[in-house]
Amino acid sequence: MDLRALIRTIPDYPKPGILFRDITTLLADSRGFGETIARLAARYAGAGIAKVAAIEARGFILGGALAERLGAGFVPIRKRGKLPAMAIGHDYELEYGTDRVEMHVDAVGRGERTLLVDDLIATGGTALAGATLVERVGGVVHEACFVIDLPELGGRMRLEARGIPVFTLMAFEGH
């Protein structure tokens, strides 16, 4: 099945010159969504994944389904102020300023093999922040996986330079 054909490209969103890669069309296709989760689950079957940590918001859709398929726990990595219990946070750089993601302090146990999931990897800032949170509580980031890589933005290289393996189902040129 050609999953790439199920990705919608929206030009000039959220600003002129950007080609936004929209996975909602992939998610809306039951066969495509199922195949996406099946391909990711096949890669991690038998890898001893204890937790799937997914980044808000589209990462939650993928991460929840993948965690269930792998028999792992699900860990939400959220924007600032959205978690009800004690949380830790990490600030990361955006094009103009900074943002923050947070995770409950008890979401990942010491030494737990954790898979980091999001819909796409662009500059890698959010993924690196998520990985930092997992590591700060003693978890081990097994790999970071994404449906889409935007290689021109360098996120994959940033994660790999930090020692975090990266897996993607497809790549799109441009940004």
What pLDDT sits at residue 94? Answer: 74
Total residues belonging to the chain: 175
pLDDT value of residue 175: 62
What residues act catalytically? 58, 95
Structure-block tokens of residue 24 = 């909602």
Whether residue 41 lies inside any domain: the answer is no
* 14: amino acid identity, one letter: P
84 domain residue, yes or no:
yes
Segment 149-159 mean pLDDT: 96
As a whole number of angstroms, the distance between CA 151 and CA 145 comes to 14
- Look up the domain containing 77 and give its range: 48-171
Task: For Cα atoms 73, 79, 82, give the angle at the middle one, nearest 5 degrees.
Answer: 75
Q: Please, what is the average pLDDT of the chain? A: 96
The whole-number pLDDT of residue 97 equals 77
Calpha distance 28→30 (Å, rounded): 6
- Domain membership of residue 144 (yes or no) is yes
Q: Which of 102, 116, 175 is nearest to 146 (CA)?
A: 116
pLDDT of residue 173: 85
Report pLDDT digits (tens) over 84-130. 999 999 999 876 678 999 999 999 999 999 999 999 999 999 999 99
Is residue 163 domain-resident? yes
Q: pLDDT per residue over 15-72, tens digit each?
A: 898 899 999 999 999 999 999 999 999 999 999 999 999 999 999 999 999 999 999 9
For residue 67, is it within any domain?
yes
pLDDT of 161 strictly over 70? yes
Would 54 be classed as within a structural domain?
yes
Domain CATH code at residue 122: 3.40.50.2020
Residues 132 and 164 sit within 8 Å (Cβ to Cβ): no
Q: How many domains does the chain have?
A: 1
> DSSP 3-state assignment of 147?
strand
For the chain, state the CA radius of gyration.
15
Provide the pLDDT for residue 106: 98
